[in-house]
Amino acid sequence: MLRRTVLSAVGAAAFTMALGGAAVAQETLKIGLILPMTGPFASNGRQIETAAKLYMQQHGDTVAGKKIELIVKDDASVADVAKRIAQELIVKDKIVVMAGFGNTPLALAPAPLATQAKVPAVVMAAATSSVTDASPFIVRSGFTQPQVNVPMAEWAAQNGIKKVVTLVSDYGPGIDAEKAFSGTFTTKGGQVENLRVPLANPDFSPFLQKVADAKPDALFAFVPSGVGAQFMKQFVERGLDKSGIRLIGPGDVTDDELLNSIGDVAIGTITTMHYSAAHDSPENKLFVEGFKKAANGLRPNFMAVGGYDGMHLIYEGLKKTNGAGGQALLDAMKGMSWVSPRGPVAIDPETRDPIQNVYVRKVERVNGELYNVEFATIPNVKDPTKATKSN
C-alpha cells in the first residue's frame, strides 16, 4: 500500500516535471547566432554580435509572449566547424532560426541544413550573390556585391573615368564584385583590366606595382572587411596616392570600423555602399550611439547593420507567425519592409535578397573623424545578377 503511494507520487512528480519542462521549452525561442569570433574574420563576428545584442537590448527579449534566447557560437572562421555548429544548434538546442554567417564559405557550408531541417537562416554578412541560391530557406539581411558594384560602374562611367584596373580578393564576393563592375563598365564604353589577389595572406604590393605601371584613371578595389587597412597602407607605400590614380570600390575598403586607423590617405576615396555610419537619419543616430556605448566607442560598420537588421527581420517575422518557425517564419520574412539605420529596406520575396538604396560616398573629415559621406543615392537597388537571370 505504502509502496504504491510512493510509486504513484514519484510518477506524478515525474509527470509534472516533464510537463513543466515542456512548458518552459515552449516559452523560449532560441536564435542560433553562428559567427567567426576568432580567426581572420573575427572583426565581422564582433560587429554582428554587438549589433544583435544591441537590438535585443533596445527591443526587449520577449516576442509574441515568448522569451528570446540568443545563443552565440564561434565557428573560428572554419567552414566545416560552422556546419557542425549549425547542425548541433538544430538538433540539440532546437533553434527556430539561425543567423550570422561571417563570409561566403561560412554561409555555404551550413546552407543544405537549412533546407533539410526547414530552419530559416538569416545571412547577415556573406555577400556573394549566389548565397541565397544555396537554400530556399536563406534570407539575407546584408547586401550583395553586385548590388553595390553595378552602381559604382555607372558612377565611374558618368564621371570621366575611362580606364580602370580592378583588384579583388580571389573568392566568391571578390569575383562577384569584379564581374559586376567590369560587366557594367565595359557596356558603358569603359576599359577594364582584372587582377586577383589570393584571399589567404594577401600581399598587395606586387599587384599594386602592376597597377602603377598600367596607369589607369582609377583603381577599383575589393578586399574583405578587415584587410582594408593593410591594403591602404601598401597603396601609399607604392606611391599610388600621389600618382593621380583614383581609388574607387565597394565600401569594404573604407570600412567604418577601420577608417580612422587608415588615416588621411583614405580622403577622397569614392565608394558605393548601402550603409555609412554617417548616414543622416534619426534611426541611424540611435543605432550608432547605442552601438558605440555597447562596444566601448567602436564604430558600427555595414556588418553591424546587417546583424541589427537581421534581428529586426527575425523579431518581426516571429511577431507575425506568433512564435512559429519553419516555412511560416520564412514566408513572414519574405516581402517585409522597414526603415533601417541604413535607410529603407525590403526583402525581395523572389530572391530573398534585400532591396535597398545604394549610396555614393566620399571619404571626408567630419568633426575630426573620417567618415564615408554620402553625396548621391541610387534608390531601391535589387541584386542585379538575379534580376538579369530572371529576365
Task: Tell me which of 31, 32, 43, 46 binds other proteins, using CB under 8 A.
Answer: 46
> Cα torsion for 377, 380, 384, 390, to the nearest 10°?
-160
Angstrom distance (rounded) from CA 381 to CA 386: 12
Instruction: For residue 234, give the amino acid letter.
Output: Q
Angstrom distance (rounded) from CA 224 to CA 171: 10
Grid cell, residue 283, equals: 534611426
Residues 104-133 that bind other proteins (CB under 8 A): 104-105, 108-109, 112-113, 116-117, 128
CB of 336 to other proteins, least distance (A): 28
* Of 103-111, 136-144, 299-307, 375-383: span binding other proteins (CB under 8 A): 103-111
Residues 5-44 that bind other proteins (CB under 8 A): 35, 37-38, 42
Report the candidate in 251, 240, 198 with the shortest Cα–Cα distance to residue 218. 240
Task: Tell me which of 31, 41, 63, 83 binds other proteins, using CB under 8 A.
Answer: 83
Q: Please, which residue, 23 or 200, has the CB nearer to other proteins?
A: 200
H helices present in 60-195, as ranges: 79-91, 104-108, 111-117, 145-158, 172-187
Burial class (CB in 10 A: 0-12, 13-18, 19+), 296: exposed
Residues 357-386 that bind other proteins (CB under 8 A): none
Return the number of other C-beta atoms located less than 10 Å from residue 186's C-beta: 14
* Of 168-176, 185-193, 236-244, 271-279: span binding other proteins (CB under 8 A): 168-176
Examine residue 47 and tell whether it contacts other proteins (CB under 8 A).
Answer: no
Examine residue 188 and tell whether it contacts other proteins (CB under 8 A).
Answer: no
Phi and psi torsions of 146, nearest 5°? -60, -35
Q: Is the dihedral of CA 233, 235, 238, 241 positive or negative?
A: negative
- Inter-residue contact 53 to 290 (CB < 8 Å): no
Per-residue DSSP letter, 209: H
Task: Tell me which of 28, 64, 69, 79 binds other proteins, using CB under 8 A.
Answer: 79
* Of 66-74, 145-153, 268-276, 359-367: span binding other proteins (CB under 8 A): 66-74
Task: Tell me which of 73, 246, 342, 352 binds other proteins, using CB under 8 A.
Answer: 73
Examine residue 140 and tell whether it contacts other proteins (CB under 8 A).
Answer: no
* Of 54-62, 151-159, 195-203, 315-323: span binding other proteins (CB under 8 A): 195-203
Grid cell, residue 227, equals: 584587410
* Of 70-78, 266-274, 343-351, 377-385: span binding other proteins (CB under 8 A): 70-78
Examine residue 80 and tell whether it contacts other proteins (CB under 8 A).
Answer: yes
Q: How many residues bind other proteins (CB under 8 A)?
A: 37
E strands, the chain, are: 28-35, 62-63, 66-74, 97-100, 121-123, 138-140, 163-169, 191-197, 218-222, 246-250, 270-273, 337-340, 343-347, 354-366, 369-381
CB of 198 to other proteins, least distance (A): 6
Examine residue 206 and tell whether it contacts other proteins (CB under 8 A).
Answer: no
CB of 102 to other proteins, least distance (A): 12
Examine residue 200 and tell whether it contacts other proteins (CB under 8 A).
Answer: yes
Instruction: For residue 319, give the amino acid letter.
Output: K
Angstrom distance (rounded) from CA 289 to CA 295: 10
Examine residue 178 and tell whether it contacts other proteins (CB under 8 A).
Answer: no
Site residues (vs other proteins, CB under 8 A): 35, 37-38, 42, 45-46, 49, 72-74, 76, 78-80, 83-84, 87-88, 90-92, 104-105, 108-109, 112-113, 116-117, 128, 134, 170-172, 198-200
